[in-house]
Structure 1
Amino acid sequence: MAFYGALRAFVSVCVTVAAPLRGPAHDRSRLRICSALLLTGGIVSTGTTAAAEPNLAMQCTQLAGLLLSPAIIGLPTAGAQVDTAEMIAATAHNNQDGEYCRITGSIKPVKVGTPDIRFDVNLPRRWNGRALQVGGGGYNGVVVSGTGVMPFSPNRAPLAQGYVTFGDDSGHVGNSALAVFGLVDEAVVNFGYAHLKKTHDAALALIEIAYGRRPDHVYFGGGSTGGREGYTVMQRFPDDYDGVIANSPALNFSGVRLLGVKVGQTEYGTPGGFVPPPLLERVYQRTLEVCDGLDGAADGIVSDVGACRKHEPDVIASLRCPSGEADVANDDCLSDAQLATLDVLREGLSLPWPLAWNVNRYRGYNVFQGTLFTGMLGLAHNDSRGTSPTIVANGYLFSQGDGYVRYFIARDPGFDSLKFDVLHPGRYQKQIVALSQTIGAMNTDLSRYIARGGKLITLQGLADEVISPNQTIAYYEALVDRFGAGKVDAFMRLYMVPGFQHGSGAFIPSTDLLGALDNWVTRDIAPETLTATDIAAATNGRSRPLCRYPAFPRYSGKGNVNRASSFICAEP
């Protein structure tokens, strides 16, 4: 035991006694020397499967208490530390990940009063030489463990496949609509982008200590906020990643939050603007009546969104109350005020001034093309706001937008978002633009990432009720405008999924995007049409092709309608 205590002290000294003036390059060089010294002592593996097996368990617990110098991390911090390190047996209860070393740690802030960035790193006994950083969701605030199966790797946990996995909480505790951390400058920067680089660098230092070398390939995978994080790392840290899965990405973070405020203002600030869930259900069912069969199959999925959009005026007219006023005797129709609320969603947001990267729009949702707004992440369920809007009572878009205005923009917990002039914010405009730069990921300059051979896969539902699918499409089209279709095709795949909402919907796709990404990066096998299995409870097991945008699945007219082989990818 004395030997292992001395070893831990040696490792700690080895990686922490940095000469700060010499910088990160000196520290990385010294880290390699330290790893080599540990290797000669037989404590750190060589990175090969055979050598890793007998050594990882011995060294894992010795990493607890390890300190990492600020110079190892590429952005300003006060260093990092390993808080715990323990081996998790393959036979542990509910373990889907095989045997691995679980490390928890914390990255220290520069300014007093800023929360730590808490992180997890998982080191598999049988390492495949790759690492996967996993993104968060919402306002984060919960450590992403990197364990278990994931939406983009549903058949087998990445850790069980041999990937080192790591994630973090983005630098604050608690994932709520209030987003109180918006009052703390360094915490906002961490949430926006800095936590990604800081955790990446700390994790790779630990990987190098444990295995004696850096990963052959580093990937990023996430959805929603994690999708925004995926685009963020390509834009800001292109040299750190070889492949990214960024699904349903919250690219224009300020845009969607401001639109959420506009939605709340029409629901609660306009007489009669509240649309109760039964009427939202009526809108959804009416769009199915008109559009479900446009793809050749009456299967509860609106696949041909473009053709459906041509019917939009007639759909809206059929839903409107004859007088334009709410009709108590006819609870199947919508008043003009209620249709105006839905029109805010449909139109999106156009600002008379630009956000960062000269962006002045947030594209609207497919309200009348098969998107259901009655679920947990939909519109308001209550017709009164209350003092602190919640997702359940007041809808995801408004509750999140309300918190953003109060804590990030006005930085006043008592601020009334219903009185906030989104189009003419006055003295708050500068703060909004700055936030769109810090948190948003709308920069289309991916030149460095493309030049390095980086790859990108994005999947999103055409019926997404949280992140507008049309905003994601607009960013893709902006990339094509900038680089040309051929260059974009060489590094990116976009799959827009009919019927899929923000994790729910009439069709919930399950497919192995991580395997597709890894094949693309390591074998140069670019993914084309993929097959997805539906995991929605009512239709579990049916399959559809995942078509590359702008194509969509059309029924061929023969064969089992529940099988992907009966569909073709048709151009709109």
Structure 2
Amino acid sequence: MPAASVPPASKLHCSTLTNITLPPKAIGLPTNGVHVDSATLIPASAAGNEAGDYCRITGSIKALKSATPDIRFDLNLPRNWNGRALQLGGGGYNGVVVSGLGTMPFSPEHAPLAQGYATFGDDSGHVGNSSLAVFGLIDEAVINFGYAHLKKTHDAALVLIRLAYGRGPDKMYFAGGSTGGREGYTVMQRYPDDYDGVIADSPALNFTGVRLVGIKIGEAEYATPGGYVPPTLLERVYERSMAICDRLDGAADGIVSDVPACRKREAEIIDALRCRSAASAGAGKTSRSARSNGSPAIAPQTEQEDKCLTNTQLATLFALRDGLTLPYHLAWDVTGYHGYNVFQGTRLTGGLGLGRDASREQSPTFAANGYLFTQGDGYLRYFVTQDAAYDSLTFDVLHPGRYQSQLVELSETIGAMNTDLSRYIARGGKVITLQGLADEVISPNQTIAYRDALVARFGQASVDSFMRLYMVPGYQHGSGVFVPSVDLLTALDDWVTHGVAPETLTATDISAATNGRTRPLCRYPLFPRYTGKGDMNRASSFICSST
């Protein structure tokens, strides 16, 4: 291995890093060492390169067992380094190397590499981002996906950064969304000494919980006669919610901002959606017995099937709204999963919604059977039962029997629900979290509940000293009627390096239909309320309000 006195990147012949190896002792968790597969100097003149000269490194972290895939990683070292490093998280089940070359989520105009950050990411230790998640059959790969890849890649990148620049970074940051958001909370909980700041957006904190909710929703739709809710009725739910709740924030702008006020009108929304016929009432009363004796599904009234919901269909939506309460404890005393804002402006008809098919596919897909059930099905078969032929609709979520211990173990390996951030707080670490109030994949109420648990443990003042939570009205999981663009990395860096804590931020909408309008990003529990005057497309016409 080359000596640590390698000159700065401005004088470094990048190719000299190719084929070097790092010994296992260089990594804080057990591995079989690290191999740098390539190191190439990308000139500023290269097509599409807006980052100036940088050294692009690809490598692999060797697994302990031959059956376990290596962790593949990319590292980018800019010639004009700002002294900071940024590790980027993945998405879904990962399986694709995060290159670190592009822009950050929610900040499409600001590529960290072009700003002088050394950037890096990995594939979490397997190839292929599939809902089937077959790597769940390999224990070492599951541990890598859950948390170990983060530490292993961090340590490998840190050694290479020191070799390239002759010193380590002044600040180390992490940023990611969804799975990457869970990874952000994971590094704060497990490796608090390694990071100075984290951006963890739409975080899949309670990973096992959300997968179990998916099974519960699948059971309601596909194992309960009459429980399937077609896209036309899901759109009806959205339209009725908007009709009643859009103006509660003072602005008819297609966004439900005052979610608490909308929740108070929920009974009115449901009453307007419910079918009135005796047949509908009968469907609600008989669905359980019909399921037990194998009777065919009871369909809604033909003449109203695109206009109202039966009791059984509403029960499916209530299952999503109410979340999950378990009679046993997952890791960190977790006893369930918080429900979704089903009747508060969440659209469930998109690619990540509840699905378009009235019957379950043999191999569910997002489009056919919905994101939550499809992901829950794969998790149950490959991670929990480790039986690819297992029928997830026969699984008893509340009484998992011999699989309970596996669920608990997985919830610790992959989940990020530990509220003990005392070491991270003591070191002065910061975290910014942004999430949509209309998120249909990761419940916004689960994220809020975790924040509330931190307040209960550390007190409001302590939480305010290191955490900012921004809940965005109208934003779903990567889509929605308002899709925010905001420079969270600069906000985090100013907080960490200069002590300038972010307060109200301004987000620009990049949704195609309303591109360019702005809104204040309000610290939770505040939300944007229209002042009653001024352009509704400008943030200056809104205030952050609690009522």
TM-score scaled to structure 1, two decimals?
0.91
Q: Displacement, 1:392?
A: 1.7
Distance across 2 between alignment mates of 1:87 and 1:118 = 19
The residue type equivalent to 2:20 in the other structure is L
**C-alpha separation in 1, matches of 2:140 and 2:314:** 41
Distance of 2:145 and 2:527 partners within structure 1? 35
Shift in Å at residue 62 of structure 1? 1.1
> What is the CA distance between 1:555 and its match in structure 2?
0.1
Counterpart of 2:297 in structure 1 is none
Secondary structure, aligned partner of 1:204: helix
What percentage of residue pairs aligned between the two structures are identical?
71
Deviation at 1:87, TM superposition (A): 1.3
Q: Distance in 1 between matches of 2:112 and 2:53?
A: 13
What is the SS of the residue equivalent to 1:329? helix
8 Å Cα contact 2:110-2:487 kept in structure 1: no
Cα shift at 1:97: 2.6
Residue 98 to residue 327, structure 1, CA distance change in 2 (3 Å): farther
3-state secondary structure, aligned to 2:4: helix
Give 1:152 shift.
Answer: 4.1
Is it true that 1:439 corresponds to 2:414 in the alignment? yes
State yes or no: 1:293 paired with 2:247: yes
Task: Give the aligned partner of residue 380 of structure 2.
Answer: 405
Q: Distance in 2 between matches of 1:63 and 1:172?
A: 24
Matched, 1:361 2:330: no
- For residue 473 of structure 2, the aligned residue among 482, 495, 498 is 498
Q: Which one-letter code corresponds to 2:544 in the other structure?
A: C
The equivalent residue for 1:85 is: 39
Alignment match, 2:121: 167
Task: State whether residues 96 and 149 of structure 1, in contact with CA within 8 Å, keep that contact through their aligned partners in structure 2.
Answer: no
Asked if the contact 1:235–1:441 (Cα under 8 Å) also holds between the matched residues in 2, the reply is yes
Tell whether the 8 Å contact from 2:361 to 2:368 is kept in structure 1 after alignment: no
Alignment of 1:35 onto 2:4: yes
**1:459 aligned onto 2:428:** no
Task: Give the 3 Å change call, closer, same or farther, for CA 152–201 of structure 1 in structure 2.
Answer: farther
User: Letter of the aligned partner of 1:96 in structure 2?
Assistant: E
SS at match of 1:496: strand
| Match among 202, 206, 210 for residue 248 of structure 1 | 202
Residue 488 of structure 2 corresponds to: 513
Q: Which residue of 1 aligns with 2:58?
A: 104
Give the whole-Å Cα distance in 1 for the aligned partners of 2:209 and 2:490. 33
1:328 correspondence with 2:337:
no
Q: Is the 8 A contact 2:206 2:415 kept in 1?
A: yes
Counterparts in 2 of 1:469 and 1:513: CA distance versus 1, 3 Å: same
Letter in 2 for 1:156: H
Structure 1 residues 273 and 569: CA distance shift in structure 2, 3 A: same
Task: Specify the alignment match of 1:117 in structure 2.
Answer: 71
Q: For 1:240 and 1:530, how far apart are their aligned partners in 2?
A: 27
Taking only aligned residues, the RMSD between alpha carbons, in angstroms, comes to 0.8
In structure 2, the partner of 1:28 is: none
CA contact (8 A) 1:493 1:527 kept: yes
Partner residue, 1:541: 516
Rounded to whole Å, the distance in 1 between the matches of 2:68 and 2:474 is 41
Equivalent residues in 2 for 1:255-274, closer than 5 Å: 255-274=209-228
Distance 1:220 1:305 in 2: 30
Return the alpha-carbon distance in structure 1 between the equivalents of residues 108 and 149 of structure 2: 26
CA contact 1:79–1:107 (8 Å) conserved in 2: yes
Preserved contact between residue 96 and residue 148 of structure 1 (Cα < 8 Å): no
State the one-letter code of the partner of 2:373. F
- CA drift at 1:327: 2.0
2:527 equivalent in structure 1? 552
Give the deviation of 1:89 after TM superposition: 2.0
Q: Which residue of 2 aligns with 1:377?
A: 352
Partner deviation per Cα, 1:499-544 (whole Å, 9 max, x = no partner): 0000100100000000000000000000000000000000000000
Counterpart of 1:506, as a letter, is V
Structure 1: distance between partners of 2:48 and 2:542:
38
**2:166 aligned partner:** 212
> Given residue 328 of structure 1, which amino acid in structure 2 is its aligned partner?
T
Higher mean displacement: 241-250 or 269-278: 269-278
Partner-residue secondary structure (3-state), 1:306: helix
Q: Note the alpha carbon deviations across 1:39-83, whole angstroms, 9 max, x for none.
A: xxxxx21xxxxxx42x13x2x111110100100000000001001
CA distance in 2 between partners of 1:35 and 1:129 (Å):
17
Q: Which amino acid aligns with 2:145?
A: F
Q: Distance in 2 between matches of 1:321 and 1:236?
A: 50
Aligned match of 1:158? 112
Give the superposition deviation at 1:88.
Answer: 1.4
* AA of the residue aligned to 1:424: H
Q: Give the letter aligned to residue 469 of structure 1.
A: P
Q: What residue identity is the alignment partner of 1:123?
A: L
- Contact conserved, 1:152 with 1:221, CA < 8 A, in 2? no
Shift of 1:563: 0.2
Measure how far apart 1:387 and its partner are. 1.3
8 A Cα contact 1:130 1:216, kept in partner: yes
Match of 2:321 in 1: 346
How many angstroms does 1:154 deviate by? 2.4
* Matched residue, 1:524: 499
Distance 1:97 1:118 in 2: 23
Query: Which whole-Å deviations, capped at 9, do the CAs of 1:218-247 have from their partners, x for residues lacking one?
Result: 000000000000000000000000000000
| Counterparts of 1:299 and 1:513, CA distance in 2 | 25
Please name the residue that 1:185 is paired with: 139
C-alpha deviation, 1:204, in angstroms? 0.3
Does 2:461 align with 1:486? Answer: yes
Match of 1:226 among 180, 190, 205: 180
1:287/1:370 contact within 8 Å kept:
yes
Match of 1:114, SS state, is: coil
Aligned counterpart for 2:425 among listed residues 421, 428, 450: 450
In the other structure, the counterpart of 1:69 is 23
1:185 and 1:315 map into 2 onto residues whose CA distance is 46
Moved more, 264-273 or 134-143: 264-273
Runs of 5+ consecutive residues of structure 2 not aligned to the other structure: 284-299
Taking the aligned partners of 2:45 and 2:269, their CA distance within structure 1 comes to 56
Deviating 4+ runs (over 3 angstroms): none
The secondary structure found in structure 1 opposite 2:303 is coil
2:292 equivalent in structure 1: none
Q: Is the 8 A contact 1:153 1:515 kept in 2?
A: no
Say which of 416, 424, 437 aligns to 2:391. 416
Q: Which amino acid aligns with 1:234?
A: M
Judge conservation of contact 1:182–1:408 (CA < 8 Å) in 2.
yes
Alpha carbons 1:349, 1:364 under 8 Å: kept: yes
Task: State the distance in 1 between where 2:474 and 2:536 align.
Answer: 15
**Deviation per CA, 1:442-487, whole angstroms, max 9, x where unpaired?**
0000000000000000000000000000000000000000000000
Alignment-mate amino acid for residue 329 of structure 1 = E
Cα deviation code 1:319-358 (max 9, x no counterpart): 0111225121122101111111101100000000000000
Q: CA deviation at 1:276?
A: 0.8
Question: Which whole-Å deviations, capped at 9, do the CAs of 1:136-161 have from their partners, x for residues lacking one?
Answer: 00000000000111124322210000
Q: C-alpha deviations, 1:346-381, integer Å up to 9, x for none?
A: 000000000000000200000000000000111111
Displacement of 1:422 in angstroms is: 0.4
Shift of 1:299: 0.2
Whole-Å separation in 2 of the counterparts to 1:87 and 1:394? 46
Counterpart residue identity of residue 264, structure 1: G
SS in 1 for 2:173: strand
